[in-house]
Amino acid sequence: MQLIDGKEVAAALRREIATEVAEMVARGERTPHLVAILVGNDGASQTYVGHKEKCCGEVGFRSTVLRLPAETGEADLLDEIERLNGDDDVDGFIVQLPLPKHIDEQKIIEAIDPRKDVDGFHPENVGRMVMGLPAFVSATPDGILQLLRYYKIPTAGKHCVVIGRSNIVGRPVANLLSQKGWDCTVTMCHSRTENLAEVVATGDIVIAALGKAEFVIADMIKPGAVVIDVGITRVPDPQKKSGFRLVGDVKFDEVAPKCSYITPVPGGVGPMTIISLMRNTLRARQLR
Ligand code: NAD
Q: Along the chain (288 residues), what's the average pLDDT of each consecutive run of 10 residues?
A: 98 97 96 98 92 96 98 98 98 97 98 98 98 96 98 98 98 98 98 98 98 98 98 95 95 98 97 96 95
> What are the C-alpha distances in Å from 245 to residues 53, 106, 214, 248, 267?
22, 31, 13, 10, 13
Residues 76 and 178 in one domain: no
Q: How many helices (H) and strands (E) does the chain have?
A: 10, 11
Residues 107 and 144 in one domain: no
Give the pLDDT score at 44.
87
Has residue 43 been placed in a domain?
yes
Has residue 105 been placed in a domain?
yes
CA trace torsion 197, 201, 202, 205 (10° rounding): 110
Residues 107 and 148 in one domain: no
Has residue 172 been placed in a domain?
yes
Residues 176 and 104 in one domain: no
d(CA 221, CA 256): 10
Measured by CA distance, the residue closest to atom 19 of ligand 1 is 191
Positions marked catalytic: 52, 96, 119
Range of 58's domain?
28-113
Has residue 68 been placed in a domain?
yes
Contact yes or no for 134/115 (Cβ under 8 A): no
Contact yes or no for 270/234 (Cβ under 8 A): no
Has residue 18 been placed in a domain?
no
Q: Which of 210, 216, 246 to mutate to test the pocket of ligand 1 (most atoms within 8 A of CB)?
A: 210
Measured by CA distance, the residue closest to atom 8 of ligand 1 is 164
pLDDT tens digit string along 80-133?
Answer: 999 999 999 999 999 999 999 999 999 999 999 999 999 999 999 999 999 999
| Distance of CA 40 from the midpoint of ligand 1 (Å) | 22
Residues 106 and 147 in one domain: no
d(CA 162, CA 174): 6
Give the pLDDT score at 288.
86
> What are the C-alpha distances in Å from 185 to residues 69, 82, 146, 255?
45, 41, 19, 23
Residues 146 and 104 in one domain: no
Query: Which string of b and e fits 258-287 if b means at least 16 CB within 10 Å?
Result: bbebbbbbebbbbbbbbbbbbbbbbbbbee
How many C-beta neighbours within 10 Å does residue 89 have?
10
Domain count, the chain: 2
Q: Which atom of ligand 1 is nearest to the CA of 210?
A: 7
| Distance of CA 213 from the midpoint of ligand 1 (Å) | 10
Measured by CA distance, the residue closest to atom 3 of ligand 1 is 166
Count Cα neighbours of 251 within 13 Å in the Cβ-side half-sphere: 11
| Distance of CA 55 from the midpoint of ligand 1 (Å) | 24
| Distance of CA 211 from the midpoint of ligand 1 (Å) | 4
Q: Which of 4, 227, 230 to mutate to test the pocket of ligand 1 (most atoms within 8 A of CB)?
A: 230
Has residue 235 been placed in a domain?
yes
| Distance of CA 138 from the midpoint of ligand 1 (Å) | 15
Has residue 122 been placed in a domain?
no
Measured by CA distance, the residue closest to atom 4 of ligand 1 is 166
Measured by CA distance, the residue closest to atom 22 of ligand 1 is 191
Residues 147 and 251 in one domain: yes
Residue ranges around ligand 1 (CB below 6 Å)? 140, 163-166, 168-170, 189-191, 193, 196, 209-212, 230-233, 269-270, 273
Give the pLDDT score at 111.
98
Measured by CA distance, the residue closest to atom 34 of ligand 1 is 232
Coil/strand/helix, residue 250: strand
Has residue 277 been placed in a domain?
no
Residues 160 and 214 in one domain: yes
Residues 171 and 264 in one domain: yes
Q: Which of 232, 265, 277 to mutate to test the pocket of ligand 1 (most atoms within 8 A of CB)?
A: 232
CATH assignment of the domain containing 237: 3.40.50.720
CATH assignment of the domain containing 57: 3.40.50.10860
| Distance of CA 166 from the midpoint of ligand 1 (Å) | 7
Residues 174 and 258 in one domain: yes
Ordered strands of the 62-68 beta sheet: 62-68, 33-39, 92-95
Residues 86 and 170 in one domain: no
Residues 151 and 87 in one domain: no
